[in-house]
Chain A
Amino acid sequence: DIQMTQSPSSLSASVGDRVTITCRASQGIRNNLGWYQQKPGKAPKRLIYAASSLQSGVPSRFSGSGSGTEFTLTISSLQPEDFATYYCLQHNEYPITFGQGTRLEIK
């Protein structure tokens, strides 16, 4: 199975900060990666697909990059509604696997 490792596992930041979350795959997955945001008690919401394409309706302060084994999600200027848990997901091969999550908290 492909292991997806996110770093950091948790992060404290302030409104207006620039934040970067990293996801590393245990083997190459091309650009077959998505990023999801989940708020407590809610379903995950896809932010990014194909590693760097912004989902329709998602604010442009979110961006993704990377290919192969290393990927990043960047939030250019944190807004209050961005405090949540973020997950990466690889769909290059079965089983589809998620990272363990990054909890983004208010400093």
Chain B
Amino acid sequence: EVQLVESGGGLVQPGGSLRLSCAVSGFTFSDHYLEWVRQAPGKGLEWIGRSRNKVNNYTPEYAASVKGRFTMLRDDSRNSLYLQMSSLKTEDTAVYYCARDVSTISGGQWGQGTLVTVSS
């Protein structure tokens, strides 16, 4: 069974940093693209980044709203994707979801999300 489990959310002050984790199971971690998508309270879905697969050197793509502040990293030994977030703003407050490649037949599964609150 495919599973994606996010963790690491919490309360952080503006300007601070936080690292989210997405632990996956049920598929070969290195073979698949992975996405980060967020949802501000009461708002719609916003794609914020993609980590390509190992064949594509795990190269990332970022939305303009987070580029230069957020970084995605992978750890093959832990089957985990990380989202390192820095220079956080109040508008980064959201539930952050990890998802398996939204563009393929085999993908489209999502984790349950983790809430990040940026507030003083």
Question: Interface of A with B (CB < 8 Å)?
Answer: 32, 34, 36, 38, 42-46, 49-50, 53, 55, 87, 89, 91, 94-101
6 tightest Cβ-Cβ pairs between the two chains A and B: A46-B108, A91-B103, A96-B47, A43-B110, A98-B45, A101-B44
Question: Which residue of the partner chain, among B64, B103, B108, B113, contacts A32 with CB atoms under 8 Å?
Answer: B103
Chain B nearest Cβ from A62, distance in angstroms: 14
- Decide if B103 touches A44 in the complex (CB within 8 Å): no
Interface residue range, chain B? 20 to 34
- Decide if A100 touches B44 in the complex (CB within 8 Å): yes
Given contacts A94-B61, A96-B50, A98-B46, contact A49 B35 (CB under 8 A): no
- Interface class of chain A by DSSP: loop
In the assembled complex, the Cα of A49 lies from the Cα of B106 at a distance in Å of 10
Question: Which residue of the partner chain, among B44, B97, B102, B110, contacts A96 with CB atoms under 8 Å?
Answer: B102
Cβ contacts under 8 Å, B63 to chain A? 95
Question: Which residue of the partner chain, among B103, B105, B109, contacts A53 with CB atoms under 8 Å?
Answer: B105
- Decide if B110 touches A44 in the complex (CB within 8 Å): yes
